[in-house]
Amino acid sequence: MNRKKIVAANWKMNMTVAETVGFLENFRSLVDEVNGVEIVIAPPFTAIAKLSELLGGSQKIRLGAQNMSNEKSGAFTGEISATMLRELFVRYVILGHSERRQIFGESDVLVNKKVHTALASGLKPIVCVGETLEERDAGRENEVLEAQLRGSLAAVTAEQMADVVIAYEPVWAIGTGRTASPEQAQDAHAHVRTILGHLTNEATAAKVRIQYGGSVKPANAQILLSQPDIDGALVGGASLEPLPFAEIVKAGVPR
Binding site for ligand PEP (CB under 6 A): 10, 169, 174-175, 213-216, 234-238
Contact assessment for residue 65 and residue 47, using Cβ atoms and an 8 Å cutoff: no
Between 69 and 220, whose beta carbon lies closer to ligand PEP?
220
Between 100 and 204, whose beta carbon lies closer to ligand PEP?
100
Q: Please state the φ and ψ torsions of residue 2, each to the nearest 5 degrees.
A: -95, 95
Between 67 and 200, whose beta carbon lies closer to ligand PEP?
67
Nearest distance, CB of residue 94 and ligand PEP, angstroms: 8
Q: Which residues contact 1 (CB under 8 A, 6 or more apart)?
A: 206, 207
Nearest distance, CB of residue 212 and ligand PEP, angstroms: 9
Between 72 and 178, whose beta carbon lies closer to ligand PEP?
178
Decide if 189 is catalytic: no
Among residues 242, 168, 160, 248, the alpha carbon closest in space to that of 204 is found at 160
Q: Which of 131, 135, 169, 189 is catalytic?
A: 169
d(CA 241, CA 249): 12
Nearest distance, CB of residue 245 and ligand PEP, angstroms: 10
Between 90 and 214, whose beta carbon lies closer to ligand PEP?
214
d(CA 181, CA 173): 10
Decide if 198 is catalytic: no
Q: Please state the φ and ψ torsions of residue 215, each to the nearest 5 degrees.
A: 55, 40
Write the DSSP assignment of 180-213 as a string of letters.
Answer: PPHHHHHHHHHHHHHHHHHHS-HHHHHH-EEEEE
d(CA 20, CA 182): 32
Q: Which of 97, 106, 131, 189 is catalytic?
A: 97
d(CA 81, CA 70): 7
CB atoms within 10 A of CB 125: 27
Nearest distance, CB of residue 123 and ligand PEP, angstroms: 18
Nearest distance, CB of residue 179 and ligand PEP, angstroms: 8
Catalytic residue list: 97, 169
